[in-house]
Amino acid sequence: MARLNVKPTRMELSNLKDRLAISTRGHKLLKDKQDELMRQFITLIRKNNALRDEVEKELTEAMQAFVVAKSLLNESFIEELFAVPDKSVTLNIQEKNIMSVIVPEMNFTVDEDDKDSEMQYGLLNSNSELDDSIARINTILPKLLKLSEIEKTCQLMADEIEKTRRRVNALEYLKIPQLEETIHYIQMKLEENERANITRIMKVKDMGQ
C-alpha cells in the first residue's frame, strides 16, 4: 500500500490522525447509509417485480383482446374513435427524499370534471370486444403509472447505492489503510529520531568524561 508523500513531522502526524478519525467516522456513516439504502431498495424492488409481473400479465391479456377486437374493424375506424381523447391526465411530480436520494412522487389527476357526456367513443364503428379491452386497459392504467414511479425510484436508488458503495470502498480499502500506514511510518520515524537523539546525547556525555 502506497504511503502518502508527507514529511514525517509531529504536525503532519497530528493532521493525519485527525484525517483518519474523520475518514473512519465517514466510512461508518456511509456504510450505514448504504445498508439502509439497500434495505429500502430491496423492499422496493420486490414491490416493483410483483407489480411489473401483474401489469405485464394484465397488459398482455388486454392488448391481445384489443388486437382481436380491432381486427374486426377497419383501422381508420379505430383511429377515428380515439382521435380526440375524451379525458386528459395531468401529472404533478413532487420530490421525495429517501436517504438523500431525490425520488419523484407522481400524482396523476384524470380531468373528467369538465365532461358531462357519457360518450367515450361512437358505438357505430366499434364492437363489444373493443369496449371490454378498453375497460381493461383503463383499469390497468393507474397500476402502470404507479409502476413507472416505482421503477424510476429504483433506478435512482440503484445509482445512489452504486455511488455510495464506491465511496465506502475507497475509504475502506484505500484512504484508511493509506492514512494508517503513513501514521505508522511517521510514528516509527519519530521514534527512530528519538532513539537517535538519545544515543547522540549519550555519546556526547561519554566524550566529556
Partner 1 sequence: MKDTQYKGVNTLLRVYETKLLTREDYEKMLRAESLQEALEVLKSTDYHFDDQEILLNKDFDSFLLYRLRMIYEELYEVTPNSEVVQIFSLRYSYHNAKVLLKQRFTDLSLEHLLIPIGKYPVTTIKNLVNTQQSAELNPIMIEAVNEAIADFETYGRVEAADVFMDTYYYKHMRAITDRLKNETITRVADVLIDLDNLSTVVRSINQNKSRSFLHTVLSSSGSIPKQAIINLADQGAVSILNELYLEKPYADKLQAVLSDSKDTINPMLLDKVIDEIVHELMEEGKYQPFGPMPVMAFMFAIEKEITNIRLILVGKDNQINEDTLRERMRPIYGS
68 CB-near residues (< 8 Å, 6+ apart):
129
Q: Closest CB to partner 1 among 72 and 102? A: 72
Indicate which single residue of 20, 47, 51, 77 sits in contact with partner 1 (rule: CB under 8 A): 77
Beta bridge partners of 109: 90
Cell 391479456 sits on residue:
61
Cell numbers given for 96: 421525495
Indicate which single residue of 24, 40, 125, 169 sits in contact with partner 1 (rule: CB under 8 A): 125
Largest CA distance in the chain: 125
Indicate which single residue of 9, 43, 49, 74 sits in contact with partner 1 (rule: CB under 8 A): 74
Contact status: 198 vs partner 1 (CB under 8 A): no
95-124 positions binding partner 1, by CB under 8 A: 116-119, 121-124
Task: Compose the 14-53 pattern: x for residues touching partner 1 by CB under 8 A, - for all others.
Answer: ----------------------------------------
| Residue-wise burial string across 18-32, b where 16 or more C-beta atoms lie within 10 A, e elsewhere | ebbeebbeebeebbe
Going by C-alpha positions, the residue among 98, 100, 105 that lies closest to residue 39 is 98
Shortest reach from residue 66's CB to partner 1, in Å = 10
Contact status: 129 vs partner 1 (CB under 8 A): yes
